[in-house]
């Protein structure tokens, strides 16, 4: 049990709660053209900024524990950093290090997977996001495992590809398929046979999260496991066919396919096989894992559940220990802000809609399911619509704001954290008009929440976990917009490397820190891990000494 945080005797208190508002996927754009945030009328946010000190925070690369500053941030590592107050080495870096050192291949899970298929004569299957986006997975990890499997005497490998178009270019699938097919061809010989067996777009099959769309997982199960689906001779043929038949379709939405020879699927998953789900990020791995592992499963009819040796790349849920077998240990995150606040008697509300509910709970709490103190913590999920985000770009902003405003006025909470998913989820669609709509819809709710905070005498902290909507067009190395054959900009559907805002709206400011409006009075050059110490400051406590520095200039008092 942690000790309570020390109170700051120089803090003069506020009447209302501290509200942490996370605008998911909203940063400061590097390029004027394609910055949907700058192109939106954000009148309420601008009004808050005009009265508030603010700074820009780093939300990518090393600042959130990723291998290099060329790596875009994501919602999972972003919420880890904000909630944990420090930077931990994250999924991609851990996996790369485990492969480089050979630790993965010496571990118990790898040995069980390999020994199983060598004993049964079965197939080693890999399912995962087929790109080098380094947010959910990386193709280099897949290639290294296939090479090692061959070295260890595995004879048959099948790969089930989930096309990206979200963390990489929206129509880049063949840029990965063709080199990968060449890679497999170079390995294949009389004693080793590796092939692509099935696939489809990540937002159409397999990679649902938070129980939002189980039919998506069912479609994946049918093609990966049962070998049921439209048949093609190759992944390239499948991609080209769907692009021809469905003009404008992007990779994340590509329909499911099965690779077949002589009318028979080349790689259904059957008894005696081994299966590796090679995504290292957990949110979009839990549902397909449940389909493989759970005895009592009622989300869809599995038809048959093969007896396989199944493993995930990492442990996707540390509290529930899912999956049962995994290749790489996750970071050990302890002493999170949530745990400290619970130990200090702070009454907390965490709220978002389904798409980001796990981010303000599980990820914010250091990959921990459940609460630290049932008496002090309230978690609320607003159910997301199961429709394409570009069709409902406002998402559930109003419903989230309704509940937050009620909570602010109730006096029942000291700290409220919420996530508006719009900038990220709609940003991933690549539909510029929808993103503008999502930003302006969110802005209305920011105005409502700011008004409630001011009426209650609280403090509003506005920030983001990474950029996305701020960078909606593809640019070349010189900054020029890349265009399609018809002259329209090429949409960018991935996250950006841009900094994100940190705005401190404190209407009843009492002089405890430097609070001149605009950029300059808050500490600069920090990452989003500084949000934890900042919120702890604003709640009247002294942050733990090893937490990353607060953005507040509080002098000797803090």
Cβ atoms 528, 81 nearer than 8 A: yes
Query: What's the rounded Cα separation, in Å, for the pair 503 and 17?
Result: 16
Q: Is 68 a catalytic residue?
A: no
CB-facing half-sphere around the CA of 445: CA atoms within 13 A:
26
CB-based contacts of 329, cutoff 8 Å, min separation 6 = 94, 314, 315
Helix (H) or strand (E) holding 183: helix 173-187
Q: Name the one residue in this structure whose structure tokens are 């429709």.
A: 387
> Six-digit token pair at 345?
């008697």
Length of the chain in terms of residues written: 558
Query: What's the rounded Cα separation, in Å, for the pair 47 and 443?
Result: 11
CB atoms within 10 A of CB 553: 15
Q: How far apart are the first and last CA of the chain?
A: 24
> What is the 3-class SS of 405-425, one letter each residue?
HHHHHHCCCCEEEEEECHHHH
Q: Are strands 156-163 and 193-201 parallel, antiparallel or unpaired?
A: parallel
Marked catalytic residue, from 40, 75, 352, 550: 75
Query: What's the rounded Cα separation, in Å, for the pair 299 and 506?
Result: 46
> What is the 3-class SS of 113-139, one letter each residue?
HHHHHHHHCCCEEEEEECCCCCCCCCH
The H-assigned helical ranges of 188-276 are 214-221, 235-245
Could you list the active site residues? 75
């Amino acid at each position: 049990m942690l000790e309570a945080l020390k109170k700051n005797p120089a803090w003069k208190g506020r009447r209302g709660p501290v509200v942490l508002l996370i605008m998911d996927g909203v940063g400061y754009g590097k390029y004027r053209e394609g910055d949907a945030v700058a192109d939106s009328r954000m009148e309420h946010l601008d009004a808050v900024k005009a009265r508030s000190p603010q700074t820009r925070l780093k939300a990518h690369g090393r600042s959130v524990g990723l291998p290099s500053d060329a790596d875009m941030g994501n919602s999972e590592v972003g919420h880890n950093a904000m909630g944990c107050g420090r930077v931990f080495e994250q999924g991609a870096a851990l996996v790369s290090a485990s492969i480089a050192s050979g630790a993965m291949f010496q571990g118990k899970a790898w040995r069980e997977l390999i020994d199983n298929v060598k004993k049964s004569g079965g197939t080693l299957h890999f399912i995962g996001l087929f790109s080098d986006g380094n947010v959910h997975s990386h193709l280099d990890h897949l290639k290294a495992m296939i090479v090692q499997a061959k070295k260890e005497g595995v004879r048959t490998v099948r790969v089930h590809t989930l096309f990206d178009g979200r963390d990489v270019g929206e129509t880049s699938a063949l840029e990965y398929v063709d080199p990968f097919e060449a890679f497999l061809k170079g390995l294949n010989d009389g004693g080793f046979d590796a092939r692509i067996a099935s696939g489809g777009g990540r937002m159409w099959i397999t990679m649902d999260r938070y129980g939002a769309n189980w039919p998506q997982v069912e479609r994946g199960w049918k093609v990966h496991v049962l070998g049921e689906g439209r048949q093609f001779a190759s992944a390239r043929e499948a991609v080209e066919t769907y692009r021809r038949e469905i003009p404008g379709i992007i990779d994340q939405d590509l329909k499911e396919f099965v690779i077949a020879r002589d009318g028979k699927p080349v790689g259904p998953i059957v008894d005696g096989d081994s299966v590796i789900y090679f995504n290292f990020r957990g949110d979009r791995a839990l549902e397909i894992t449940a389909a493989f592992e759970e005895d009592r499963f009622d989300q869809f009819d599995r038809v048959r559940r093969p007896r396989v040796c199944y493993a995930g790349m990492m442990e996707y849920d540390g509290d529930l220990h899912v999956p049962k077998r995994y290749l790489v240990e996750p970071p050990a995150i302890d002493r999170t802000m949530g745990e400290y606040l619970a130990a200090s008697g702070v009454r907390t509300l965490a709220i978002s809609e389904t798409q980001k509910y796990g981010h303000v709970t599980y990820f914010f709490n250091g990959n921990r399911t459940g609460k630290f103190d049932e008496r002090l913590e309230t978690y609320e999920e607003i159910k997301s619509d199961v429709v394409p985000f570009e069709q409902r770009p406002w998402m559930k902003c109003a419903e989230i704001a309704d509940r937050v405003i009620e909570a602010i006025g109730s006096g029942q909470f000291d700290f409220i954290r919420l996530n508006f998913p719009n900038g990220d989820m709609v940003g991933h669609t690549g539909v510029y008009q929808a993103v503008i709509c999502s930003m302006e819809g969110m802005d209305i709710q920011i105005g409502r929440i700011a008004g409630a905070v001011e009426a209650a005498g609280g403090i509003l902290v506005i920030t983001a976990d990474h950029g996305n909507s701020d960078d909606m067009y593809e640019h070349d190395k010189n900054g020029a917009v890349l265009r399609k054959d018809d002259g329209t900009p090429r949409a960018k559907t991935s996250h950006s490397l841009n900094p994100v805002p940190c705005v401190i709206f404190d209407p009843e400011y009492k002089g405890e820190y430097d609070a001149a409006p605009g950029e300059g009075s808050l500490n600069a050059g920090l990452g989003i891990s500084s949000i934890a110490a900042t919120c702890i400051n604003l709640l009247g406590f002294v942050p733990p000494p090893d937490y990353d520095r607060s953005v507040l200039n509080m002098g000797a008092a803090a």
